[in-house]
């Protein structure tokens, strides 16, 4: 097991499938790609600004953002964050993972779909509570968030009047161009910039993620610090000492052996949106030119009663990465169920678990599942975190970003574009009669 502070990697679940020597054989390639990224060169070099964010974001603009977030916390009950893809998934991932650490107004998300039922329900749930909007879009014309923004902006103007509505809207957008920038400048919205050299799925450490997280009361400086500490670790030229390079090498080694699907599994219920963020990051970065590892996810033990069957006994073309968090609520234990005579009735067969914590039971469920999947021929990586806080999560997110940059280039694709995403838009706009 290798330990990097924010998490550790356990790789003994790979021994029957890929030898250490095979992983080490990629060391020269990962080192060369790491150096290329460090020089800001190679495919997609114009979108490598995320590498500098942990350090570049700390300054006067971050203080302005924190001050504005504090004011927003004082005059609203709900903040509606409007965006799609990378414009919301990073923030929702962190908020969901650290929900017990949040405070202040409720943060909800819109612009992620075009379903009338979902939007109507959200409007109904908000009711007459005081609201603010944070609209996130480089262009301002992406259909899903643009529709939601028009709906919620109309609601704000009806409720507060045009002038007061403007004061309740924050725009995170391009520095100088696009429909949202033009509108924000004309209306005088409080605005923050999405850097030109940072793509949406790499934007969690820009105001795209930092503004909603600050409003929620999370320590965004600790998030940046964790990412910064991990960025230093991920510059190591020795593959075994660099978790991003090591993970990328393992993934590509397994891919070249025919393992074309990766399942990110967790036993921690609050990590569901981290899994969703991870799926976008890896799917959109690697799935090109007929190549790429398909990213899937499972939440256990729930999915052990469905997808667990396939993982255990299905086609041997997938590998599994467990995302494990040791800490939870240690004082939540299984109670006794005493009968009239004082003895545990044990009608449900749980007497052997009385006074044992759910954390212990969940840990054993992970260990048993891991052992069963390895025995069933599934290559397994275990990524274990001792605790979930802003610092450790910042490190985890940056690790995945650096890993997919290296892994995508190992596949021979540009990890920073997404040409296939435009296909559905073109067909949709034709059907809608867009001029």
Q: What is the set of active-site residues?
A: 284, 305, 425
Quote the tokens at residue 290: 């007929």
Please name the helix (run of DSSP H) or strand (run of DSSP E) that holds residue 428, with its range, or none.
Answer: helix 421-432
CB 254 within 8 A of CB 17: yes
Report the Cα–Cα distance between both ends of the chain, in Å, rounded.
57
Question: Which residues, other chains included, contact 93 with Cβ-Cβ below 8 Å and sequence gap of 6+?
Answer: 204, 273, 274, 276, 277, 397
Point out which residues pair with 133 in neighbouring strands. Answer: 80, 169
DSSP 8-state code for residue 107:
E
Those residues whose C-beta lies under 8 Å from the C-beta of residue 417, and which sit 6 or more positions away, are: 44, 47, 288
- Give, in order, the Cα–Cα distances in Å from 413 to each of 51, 143, 259, 291, 403: 19, 28, 18, 8, 14
Q: From 405, 104, 43, 120, select the one nearest 248 (Cα to Cα).
A: 405
* Residues 106 and 73 sit within 8 Å (Cβ to Cβ): no
* Omega cis (within 30) before 71: no
Residue 435: CB atoms within 10 Å: 3
- Cβ neighbors of 366 (< 8 A, separation 6 or more) are 267, 300, 322, 324
């Amino acid at each position: 097991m290798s330990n990097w502070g924010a998490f550790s990697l356990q790789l003994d679940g790979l021994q029957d499938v890929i030898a250490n020597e095979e992983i080490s054989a990629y060391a020269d390639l990962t080192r060369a790609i790491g150096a290329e990224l460090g020089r800001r060169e190679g495919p997609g070099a114009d979108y490598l600004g995320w590498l500098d964010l942990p350090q570049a974001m700390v300054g006067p603009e971050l203080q302005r953002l924190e001050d504005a977030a504090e004011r927003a916390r004082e005059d609203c009950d709900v903040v509606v964050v409007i965006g799609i893809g990378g414009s919301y998934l990073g923030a929702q991932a962190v908020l969901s993972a650290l929900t017990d650490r949040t405070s202040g107004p409720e943060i909800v998300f819109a612009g992620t779909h075009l379903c009338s039922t979902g939007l109507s329900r959200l409007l109904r749930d908000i009711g007459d509570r005081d609201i603010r909007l944070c609209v996130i879009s480089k262009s301002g014309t992406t259909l899903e968030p643009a529709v939601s923004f028009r709906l919620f902006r109309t609601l704000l103007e009806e409720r507060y009047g045009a002038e007061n509505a403007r004061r309740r809207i924050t725009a995170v957008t391009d520095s100088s161009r696009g429909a949202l920038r033009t509108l924000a400048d004309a209306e005088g919205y409080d605005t923050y910039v999405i850097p030109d050299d940072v793509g949406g799925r790499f934007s969690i450490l820009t105001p795209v993620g930092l503004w909603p997280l600050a409003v929620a009361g999370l320590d965004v400086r600790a998030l940046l610090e964790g990412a910064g500490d991990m960025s230093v670790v991920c510059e190591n030229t020795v593959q075994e000492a660099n978790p991003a390079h090591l993970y990328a090498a393992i993934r590509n080694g397994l891919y070249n052996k025919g393992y074309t699907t990766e399942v990110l599994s967790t036993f921690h219920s609050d990590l569901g949106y981290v899994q969703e963020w991870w799926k976008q990051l890896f799917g959109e970065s690697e799935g090109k030119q007929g190549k790429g590892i398909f990213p899937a996810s499972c939440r256990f033990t729930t999915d052990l009663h469905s997808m667990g069957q396939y993982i255990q006994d299905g086609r041997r073309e997938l590998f599994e990465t467990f995302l494990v968090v040791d800490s939870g609520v240690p004082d939540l234990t299984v109670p006794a169920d005493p009968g009239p005579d004082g003895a545990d009735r044990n009608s449900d067969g749980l007497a052997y678990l009385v006074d044992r914590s759910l954390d212990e039971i969940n840990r054993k469920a992970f260990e048993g599942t891991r052992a069963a999947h390895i025995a069933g021929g599934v290559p397994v990586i275990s990524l274990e975190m001792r605790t979930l806080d802003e610092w450790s999560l910042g490190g985890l997110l940056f690790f995945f970003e650096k890993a997919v940059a290296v892994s995508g280039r190992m596949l021979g694709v540009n990890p920073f574009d997404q040409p296939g995403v435009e296909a559905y838009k073109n067909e949709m706009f034709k059907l809608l009669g867009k001029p």
